[in-house]
Structure 1
Amino acid sequence: MKKNGKAANRNTRNVPHRSAHARSVDIDPKRFIPDQQAVPKATHQDIHRHDELARKSKPFPIAVVVAGGAHLMHRDTHEGRISSLKHWSLREAVFLVLANNLPRLWIFDRYRAVLYRLAGLRVGKGSTIYGPVSVRPYGGCRCITIGADTFLNVDTAFTVVYDGVRIGDRVQIGPRVAFETMGHGLVYEPGKGRGRTSAAIVVEDEVWIGANAVILQGVTIGRGSVVAAGAVVNRNVAPNTLVGGVPARPLRDLSTADGKYS
């Protein structure tokens, strides 16, 4: 009885703290009663459940379809929240760091590709990745596919919150190229913000993307095309086409080119 009395007193002293925390996340304080033994175990689950209920309580419908088939959404990402733990992988974190920090010597190229595979990227046979590779958010490596005999130069960045990036075979990607599958709406709505837009990116076989190019959401770059350095690609690129500029526009048809620079 004495032991039970101490346990009851300990639970009673914890009631104000637990109730205050419950009110901060809109959870009924009556759930945290002195006789409930599972109070310490419910904290993270209740916060996660609250986040899910908050998102479902005001379901903002898909309101706008923007370029590339992206949808305007008013919802939070999982990144930075307790719920992001289900997307996070210790294996990804460890092997991505290891791959990104290998010395930039040719002898390490094959081992670097292996480490990226272990981190979760789907990398085809014979591909070379110089790294470092930036992937957002946690768990995003599983959303990236790279074909065979493809080359990625330094500082490639991927943002794959809702949709992925697929890169074909024999593709050449220059330094500091960014693949951005997510964006925002143009109009700010009070109480909602700008929302988020998202659509997958596809780079077909035998494409060359120059240094510092940015590939935006929903874009498909056709087979054999070339993206000039510094271009911002916000629309689909037809096969065998040279594009450049901000925003990128067609500059030349490569289907009849002689292979020489001009």
Structure 2
Amino acid sequence: MAGALPAAADIPPVKRVSCPSVAEINRARPPSEVEKRTLVSLEATPTQCAYRVQGVTEGENLSFGFVDGVSTPKQAEDQLRQEYADTSILFSTTPLPALGAGAFAFSDTGPGALYWQLSPGAVAAMGSNLLWQLDEYVAVAKLFRPMMEVYTIPGAHTVNGRQWRTACEGYSATARCRTDIFATVIRKTPSGYVKVNGWAFNSLTYRWSDRALWTANPLGRTGSWTSAEGRRWRTDCDTATTGRGACRSYLLTTVIDFKGGKYTRADVWVFNNQVLFTT
């Protein structure tokens, strides 16, 4: 397997999270514990997840967010240590290697205060007032993932058994990420067509930015057009496929397939890129 594409070091971190569902969290915990304290509701924003337990009407019982002003768990630990320097509380932490390098639990507030690197430059914090075992918290913490991880986070990813690699670079007021997938592709050779396993382009993603920045760009509004090179494009925005706050652009492309024992050619609309909006 080839290495991941290089990632620019100067792009901002992704501080957006895909909140796991209530059912996913309950499944990650021992059945006996779920019976005692069943999570029943979730309030989610792009940066926070708040869960509540059955029968409790006030207060967050399990919460997720990002730590401001830090980019590594070590910086988060140093920040906490400084906050408690002038108190009578003995500051101590418990390493959590299962959540990655530098991850830890803040022991003095119970096992529910966990800190770990969710993605490059983004440190996650999960707090709770529930009396769970530490391994329960770790299992639940692993369910939180960066939003649209395969398309927005630099590096190598494995999702549903498929291998992906992503590289990002600065682009105007946002960042543009290229995602490749390891797949079987059909290539034309002097002697005909052959199937080859290797890295193939999947799509480009323009990370979250203000919609107003895209008003003059056809990639940021619904419509169709023909490029200067004579290629036909189509863009769909805010649909069931794109979701609210996004556009997807497709390119009319000649695709080679293998059907009925022979290679075929057909012009089809192929997903090329997506633009994500903050508003």
After TM superposition, the score normalised by the length of structure 1 is: 0.24
Query: 1 or 2 for the larger relative contact order (CA 8 Å, sep ≥6)?
Result: 2
After TM superposition, the score normalised by the length of structure 2 is: 0.23
Structure with the higher fraction of residues in strand conformation: 2
